[in-house]
Amino acid sequence: MPTTTQLAPQFDPSAIESAVYGRWLDAGVFTADRDSGREPYVIVIPPPNVTAVLHMGHGLNNTIQDVLIRFERMRGREALWLPGTDHAGIATQNVVERIFAKDGRSRHDVGREAFVERVWHHVHQTEGTIIAQLKAMGFSCDWTRTRFTLDDGYSAAVRHVFVTLHQDGLIYRGHRVIHWCPRCHTSLSDEEAAFEDTSGHLYHIRYQVVDPGETDPAFVTVATTRPETMFGDIALVYHPEDDRFTGRSGLTVEIPLTGVRIPIGTHTAVEREFGTGMLKITPAHDANDFDIANTILPNAPHPVILTEDARMADDERVPASLRGLDRFDARKRIVSMLEASGQLGRVDPHAHAVRYCYRCHTAVEPRLSDQWFVKMQPLAAPALVAHHRGDVRFVPDRWGKVYEQWLTEIRDWNISRQLWWGHRIPAWYCEAAGCDHITVSERDVDACDACGGPVRQDEDVLDTWFSSWLWPFATLGWPERTADLARFYPGHTLVTAPDIIFFWVARMVMAGYYFLDERPFDTVYMNGIVRDPQHRAFSKSLGNGIDPLEVVDAYGADALRYTVVAGAAAGTDVIMDRGDMDATFAAGRHFANKVWNLGRFILGNLDGAPAPVGALDTAQFELADRWILARCQRIAAETTAAMERFRLNDAVRTVYHFLWDDFADWYVEQVKPRLYGEASGGDVARAILCHVFRTALTLLHPFMPFVTEELWAHIPGGDEPMLAGAAWPTDNPALADEEAETRFARVRELISAVRTMRAEYGVPPAATVPIVTHPATLDTTEAFNAEQRTIERLAKASGLDLLGPMTGVGAHAVLGDGTAVFVPLGGAIDVTQECARLAGERTRLEHQIERVAAKLANLQFTERAPADVVERERAKEHTWREQCATLGDKLRALGC
RNA sequence: GGGCGAAUAGCUCAGCCGGUUCAGAGCGCCUGCCUUACACGCAGGAUGUCGGGGGUUCGAAUCCCUCUUCGCCCACCA
């Protein structure tokens, strides 16, 4: 039988964590069984990017998933938590490009094949670290099913999707203005080019009118934030009802600095209030201009005057002196050139939103090009219906609005990226003369579908989210109709952060309905974002991040998990202070230690395995026994209810306070005399200690799996060898006992009242003090006879005795039910000395009050006495008077 | 321009489908205790006009309006 000597007095997480995790793996408790017949419960992990190792945000997100998975597994469901990682196309490519950049090499110097090979190397490295991190935090993923969004099977799924959507007419090749990142050299989706408020200038530029008539002006002025794009202008337009420009339509103007001639036209999309009301149309470098150009000049060319890295193009439309200049340098040069030629008007400061690349934060360049797009509207419709019907819901539900808004205003999705790292687009262009057929195929082809001519595969890869959106089913073997897919799709809960609702959540719902005709999950639980004390999100550049492994090493995985769960209601951000890690993780660490020591205490006081509670003679139960069993039963029900409502923070706090405040502070203390043989009933106490502690360990296990699992191995009486596989406590109405709860609450109140009096009157801890309760309320009732014993026991544990008449020198208190408690103090303290001390204290206070009263009287006559000063002095006076009154009561009690 | 969220004890936050956990928790702070499970502990204690103002109600931290201050998301005024 284990004894306390086997457990260290302080919980040392590092001493047990890896061994405990090893036992879980050996027992296979994390592996979902296809054939169990149990109702499945499935969570797919939001696959972390292989770009970098995990941070605290992942710690939070995955802890919540693990809590849910362990909870459902213990409740008897076939729980599958499917792990994996995301190849994170553009992000990962950037990381590796930076590695090469250190040697001054670009990816083009290295070549596609060698570059991709180097990326794989990086991926294997970080993937290993990520999985080690997940294990260190105790996550119960089914590692036998680990996937990667770029593994072979997954690629097959991606190709199948591309081909299917293409056949269904939902994927098409489009020629339009897209967001282009000049640094990453790729196009981006709308979501990847995020708006950011930027302060710039609004430049007023004069376009010379060619051969003006008598009533025509010599020039028209256009306001633009981007003068450098004017060489790509093909027209100027104004609103057809704008009186200021009546009759100008049809005139010709010259683009400044080049003299290229363009017409003036009208279009209703022009905002009359903005700028001069005259808009320049640059179809190749502005999406709106592109649309306008197509309506007013459908056959006009769309000159591209910026290169892929956003320099002025080597083009005849661009003045020779500007060619090759960076767009922002060119802007400055152009402005001074315009100034010199007298064609620059006002320059106003102008705040506007500019899109930036979400991966490298370069200002995105709108650029005309050919890309692959997904037609989204048909996919979005079922996803909207699903939310309306409640088939997919959000926790907290306000995020549903965000989801709906995006789906309602959805636009086509640009899915092609000019990158090397990712799923290569399965499209082949025919190179035969006169054939422009594109072959789209799941398998590699070497001949054109249409003419049999030679083909060349599209160089581009797919948006990384084009693979992520298949995660809930591609990970289960789809498009094969695997047994896993049949059993574990659809899933249940998705746990993620709100910032990827568009990127990922909504798209998964769309893909789920389109390809499997079923939702991928029923609930989307939104966790908050982990921030620093200045409420900034963690980021590498700020250096404010916290490495979960660091935390696990210093405080233990259980402390980390407790901290993030207790600190985060659904959807609220979690603040963590890197500068004060001790304070941040104190509560969790202290609690783990408390639980550990409870285990130590119980083990140290066992005498063989105790009988199961069911086998005990309830007639031998004392009040405290009945109370703790009832309380335990109530807490189990409350915890379960909180879990079902996704109130994980409430659930863990409930268990925390039960274990600490009820079980440790009251039951364990009450039971000590019995355990030590000073009172009878030790065997009953031991049995109940084990039973309640085991139940509490079970309730706590999803949150703090390591310490609970380790103790489970030592505490006798569990049916299951491993807590991770044990059953969640079920309702046991037989143990409910409201009467015991009420009566024990009175006992607690009595003891607390006595303790307070002892503390207030300075009774030395070693001194024994008799207490008396008023006979009218407690003494005469039947119930009190039973309580009397408990009170005596608890009183003894607190150094109290229940004796003596309710007269003489002493303190009293009245409890909530009207019971009067009297503590004779004569024998415990030197009354004369205490009186002198209290009287001295009172005199001091009285002097202070006199002074402040005088000050207030003065202030009354002082004009413009600061109100806050008066307020403060009044408050002081009030507090002191109250303290004075209390002292008076005490002095009277002592008979002085 | 539109929408959402937040403001509660020194700090970080719960509570917020109105009235018995209603002013709370953890950390910090003050007092006394190394009582043989735990000083990562035990006992006791202090601290808040629940952002300002108005309203609804018998009653509001909790509902409505408004203001202030922060934060986030969406958006084709170039």
Lowest mean pLDDT, pick from A528-542, A670-684, A718-732:
A528-542
The tokens of A164 are what? 């299917």
> Nearest nt to A567, CA vs C1'?
B13
Task: Determine the pLDDT at residue A735.
Answer: 86
Report the percentage of chain A scoring pLDDT > 90.
52
DSSP state of A244: G
Averaged pLDDT, A763-787:
56
Residue A179 — φ and ψ, nearest 5°? -85, 125
CA A747 to chain centre: 43
Q: C-alpha angle with apex A769: A749 to A672, nearest 5 degrees? A: 65
Q: CB-side exposure of A632: number of CA atoms within 13 Å?
A: 29
Task: Determine the pLDDT at residue A608.
Answer: 84
Q: Is the pLDDT of residue A784 over 60?
A: no
Angle at which helix A705-714 crosses helix A13-27, to 10 degrees, equals 80
Q: Rounded mean pLDDT of chain A?
A: 86
> Nearest nt to A760, CA vs C1'?
B44
Distance CA A399, CA A496 (A): 12
Q: How many angstroms separate the CA of A557 from the C1' of B40?
A: 15
> Nearest nt to A353, CA vs C1'?
B75
Residue type, A33: D
Q: A254 near A208, Cβ under 8 Å?
A: yes
CA dihedral in degrees (A513, A515, A518, A519; nearest 10)? -60
Q: How many angstroms separate the CA of A844 from the C1' of B44?
A: 23
Task: Determine the pLDDT at residue A361.
Answer: 85
Q: Could you give the C-alpha distances from A251 to A178, A213, A237, A245, A248, in angstroms and in order?
A: 31, 9, 11, 11, 6
Q: Which helix (H) or strand (E) holds A745?
A: helix A738-760
Q: How buried is residue A208: exposed, middle or buried, by Cβ count under 10 Å (0-12/13-18/19+)?
A: middle
Q: A852 near A880, Cβ under 8 Å?
A: yes
Which is more confident, A825 or A448?
A: A448
Per-residue confidence at A796, pLDDT binned at 50, 70, 90? low
Lowest mean pLDDT, pick from A547-551, A691-695, A735-739, A755-759:
A755-759
**In A428-451, which positions are buried (b, 16+ CB within 10 angstroms) versus exposed (e)?**
bbbeeeebeebbbebeeeeebbee
Q: CB-side exposure of A824: number of CA atoms within 13 Å?
A: 14
Q: Which residue is nearest to nucleotide B25 (CA to C1')?
A: A653
Provide the ipTM: 0.93
Q: How many angstroms separate the CA of A499 from the C1' of B74?
A: 12
Distance CA A9, CA A3 (A): 12
Q: Which residue is nearest to nucleotide B43 (CA to C1')?
A: A755
Q: How many angstroms separate the CA of A363 from the C1' of B73?
A: 20
Averaged pLDDT, A760-773:
72
> Nearest nt to A675, CA vs C1'?
B37
Q: How many angstroms separate the CA of A731 from the C1' of B16?
A: 30
| Ramachandran category for residue A780: left, alpha or beta (phi over 0 → left; psi -120 to 50 → alpha) | alpha
> Nearest nt to A281, CA vs C1'?
B78
> What sections of A75-146 are H helices per DSSP?
89-101, 107-110, 112-136
Closest CA to A84 of A110, A65, A108: A65
Q: Which residue is nearest to nucleotide B15 (CA to C1')?
A: A650
* Terminal Cα distance for chain A, rounded: 59
Distance CA A771, CA A825 (A): 9
Q: Which residue is nearest to nucleotide B73 (CA to C1')?
A: A402
Write out A337-390 in H/E/C secondary structure: HHHHHCCEEEEEEEEEEEEEECCCCCECEEEEEEEEEECCHHHHHHHHHHHHHC
* Residue reference for tokens 């003489």: A808
Q: How many angstroms separate the CA of A431 from the C1' of B44?
A: 88
Per-residue confidence at A868, pLDDT binned at 50, 70, 90? low
Write out A204-232 in H/E/C secondary structure: EEEEEECCCCCCCCCEEEEEECCHHHHHH
> Nearest nt to A587, CA vs C1'?
B26
Q: How many angstroms separate the CA of A677 from the C1' of B66?
A: 69
Task: Determine the pLDDT at residue A497.
Answer: 87
Distance CA A308, CA A376 (A): 27
Closest CA to A75 of A525, A639, A599: A639
Q: How many angstroms separate the CA of A818 from the C1' of B24?
A: 25
Q: pLDDT tens across A578-595, in order?
A: 777 888 888 899 999 999
DSSP string, A393-411: EEESTTHHHHHHHHHHT--
- Which of A5-14, A88-97, A503-512, A669-678 holds the top average pLDDT? A503-512
The tokens of A116 are what? 């991709």
Q: Which residue is nearest to nucleotide B13 (CA to C1')?
A: A567
Task: Determine the pLDDT at residue A850.
Answer: 78
Q: Is the pLDDT of residue A121 over 50?
A: yes
Q: Which helix (H) or strand (E) holds A531?
A: strand A530-531
Lowest mean pLDDT, pick from A290-294, A521-525, A675-679, A834-838:
A834-838
Q: A203 near A181, Cβ under 8 Å?
A: no
The tokens of A222 are what? 């256009």
Under 8 Å CB-to-CB from A277, ≥6 apart: which residues? A238, A239, A242, A244, A245, A270, A271
Q: How many angstroms separate the CA of A17 from the C1' of B40?
A: 18
Distance CA A786, CA A792 (A): 10
Q: How many angstroms separate the CA of A2 from the C1' of B40?
A: 23
Q: How many angstroms separate the CA of A505 from the C1' of B27?
A: 36
Q: A140 near A74, Cβ under 8 Å?
A: no
Q: pLDDT tens across A406-433, in order?
A: 998 899 999 999 999 999 999 999 998 8
> Nearest nt to A191, CA vs C1'?
B74
SS3 state at A194? strand
Angle at which helix A623-644 crosses helix A782-797, to 10 degrees, equals 80
The tokens of A716 are what? 């006798």
DSSP string, A620-685: G--HHHHHHHHHHHHHHHHHHHHHHTT-HHHHHHHHHHIIIIIIIIIIIHHHHHHHTTSSS-HHHH
- Which of A212-216, A407-411, A805-809 holds the top average pLDDT? A407-411
Q: Is the pLDDT of residue A790 over 60?
A: no
Q: How many angstroms separate the CA of A401 from the C1' of B3?
A: 9
Q: Which residue is nearest to nucleotide B71 (CA to C1')?
A: A535
Averaged pLDDT, A552-581:
83
Residue A493 — φ and ψ, nearest 5°? -115, 135
Q: pLDDT tens across A254-286, in order?
A: 999 888 999 999 998 888 888 888 999 999 999
DSSP string, A802-861: --S-S-SSEEEEE-TTS-EEEEE-TTTS-HHHHHHHHHHHHHHHHHHHHHHHHHHHHHHH
> What sections of A464-537 are H helices per DSSP?
465-468, 471-474, 483-488, 506-511
> Nearest nt to A568, CA vs C1'?
B13
Q: Which residue is nearest to nucleotide B76 (CA to C1')?
A: A288
> Nearest nt to A657, CA vs C1'?
B25
> Nearest nt to A650, CA vs C1'?
B14
Q: What is the widest separation between alpha-carbon atoms in chain A?
A: 119
Q: Which residue is nearest to nucleotide B6 (CA to C1')?
A: A572
Q: How many angstroms separate the CA of A407 from the C1' of B65?
A: 32
Q: A214 near A256, Cβ under 8 Å?
A: no
Closest CA to A156 of A504, A372, A423: A423
Q: pLDDT tens across A217-227, in order?
A: 888 999 999 99
Q: A581 near A554, Cβ under 8 Å?
A: yes
Per-residue confidence at A803, pLDDT binned at 50, 70, 90? low
Q: How many angstroms separate the CA of A597 from the C1' of B13?
A: 28
What are the beta bridge partners of residue A395?
A: A525
- Which of A615-619, A768-772, A796-800 holds the top average pLDDT? A615-619
> Nearest nt to A536, CA vs C1'?
B71
Averaged pLDDT, A471-479:
96
Distance CA A141, CA A130 (A): 13
Per-residue confidence at A677, pLDDT binned at 50, 70, 90? confident
Tell which strand B nucleotides have any atom below 7 Å from a protein Cβ. 3-5, 11-15, 25-28, 31-33, 35, 37-45, 70-71, 73-78
Pairing state between β A235-238 and A261-266: parallel
Task: Determine the pLDDT at residue A2.
Answer: 40
